[in-house]
Amino acid sequence: MLQFIYSQLIRLFLPFILLRLWWHGRRAPELRRNWYQRLGIVPRASGTVVWVHAVSVGETIAAAPMVRRLLARNPGITILMTAMTDTGLSQARKMFGDQVQYAYAPYDTPGSIRRFLDRANPRILVIMETEIWPNMIRQCRARRVPVFLINARLSERSARGYERVRGLAAPIMRSISWVAAQAEKDAERFRRIGVAPAKVAVTGSVKFDVDIPENVRAAAAALRQKLAGRPVWIAGSTHGSENDELLAAHGRVLADHPKALLILVPRHPDRFEPVAERAVKEGLTLARRSRGEDPGRTQVYLGDTMGELMMLYGASDLAFVGGSLIERGGHNPLEPAGWGIPVFSGPHIFNFETIYQRLLDDRGVKLVADSDDLAAHVSSLFSDDTERQAIGQRALAVVNKNRGALDKVVDGIIERV
């Protein structure tokens, strides 16, 4: 009954969801492109299809090493990557080109999911992290399509939320074929909300298997050479008012290190223009990557392109990971850690608690209280090359020590293909 009520509510809200999509598409036309895919009308796929669903940019990046490994192990399969956002698909296209197929994920109405499955005909569904959609999972299970949750994490708050709707959640959880959890506490919560214990394994986080392709390393080195030895720090995946705080922090860094450069990379494209305007208003000189402007003599380099954050981390001396000075929960600190540079975050890191704890245990990350605290640490490390390199090497050591989850995950998928 709860499943029926849920489906009817989704159907009821669908016209308003589509209207919202159209409205936001006024400023971002790419949102309207291929909108019909969200109703399940996707190109027909053939062969052995592995459907990899990643909600947005972060999950898409996390899926990249797994997708590369799957293609290397079984070149005959077809990878169909879906995302809920245009930025997620843009990131996937930038990483894989024509190696895989792409589509927007269908909205979770029974009809949309049915049309999608009829056309895509997947052999297996691999969901990155914890993107749980009842109709998607139930219909896959009804068609004997195994559903894997990979790199799965579940906070205590989310677990309690599922427990409050146990009548809806429990049948969905029983339909999941395998949960590859990041940590034992995640695994315990999945068992608690209805996933059979035999279907839950602790594999660790695939995000520790950081994959930096050679072309990305080459591009980072080329950009670094252009910067001619300047001290460079980067703030990646930033949100909202956080950008204002980071620009203010850079002003304080400049007081001690006049040649310092801040590479600022907002999480969402709709923040590019406001951040550029704010930087100029603060009296900072600005170059924009999207326009090919030279960052050599500017104070702020705006990373207003998609899919280049990993490369920009590699061109920097140290990194701040955004979404953490505000209560957003933070983003993935392993991307800069994989380059062997010091990593800073604010106090709000609940989205990646397991990863941050491992970094904190080995002093591979520093949590700052606010932008003043961040500016002080950045200035200090710019004055101490030895300490900066030592912290960066500790961060990289944590990444290397925790590798291996990817092999377990790929083995599990290959067994079902």
Which residues belong to the active site? Answer: 59
Q: What is the largest CA-CA distance in the chain?
A: 65
What is the C-alpha to C-alpha distance for residues 105 and 40, in angstroms, rounded to an integer? 8
- DSSP H or E segment with residue 81: strand 78-83
Among candidates 164, 181, 168, 220, which has minimal Cα distance to 335? 220
Give me the residue label for tokens 């326009």: 291
Q: 53 by DSSP, 3-state: which?
A: strand
Length reported for the chain: 417
What is the C-alpha to C-alpha distance for residues 287 and 300, in angstroms, rounded to an integer? 6
What is the C-alpha to C-alpha distance for residues 151 and 205, in angstroms, rounded to an integer? 5
**The token pair that represents 186 in the structure block:** 């995640």
Q: How far is CA 330 from CA 40, 83, 202, 311, 381, in A?
A: 32, 20, 23, 20, 22
Among candidates 353, 338, 345, which has minimal Cα distance to 392? 338
**The token pair that represents 412 in the structure block:** 């599990």
DSSP 55: -
Which residue type is seen at 107?
Y
Among candidates 121, 88, 91, which has minimal Cα distance to 105? 88
Q: In the beta sheet, which residues pair with residue 345?
A: 321, 367
Classify 240 in phi/psi space as left (phi over 0), alpha (psi -120 to 50) or beta.
left
Residue 15, number of CB atoms within 10 A of its CB: 9
φ, ψ dihedrals at 236, nearest 5°:
-110, 150
Q: 26 by DSSP, 3-state: which?
A: coil
What is the C-alpha to C-alpha distance for residues 320 and 322, in angstroms, rounded to an integer? 6
Q: Is the alpha carbon torsion for 166, 172, 178, 182 positive or negative? A: negative
Residue 39, number of CB atoms within 10 A of its CB: 17
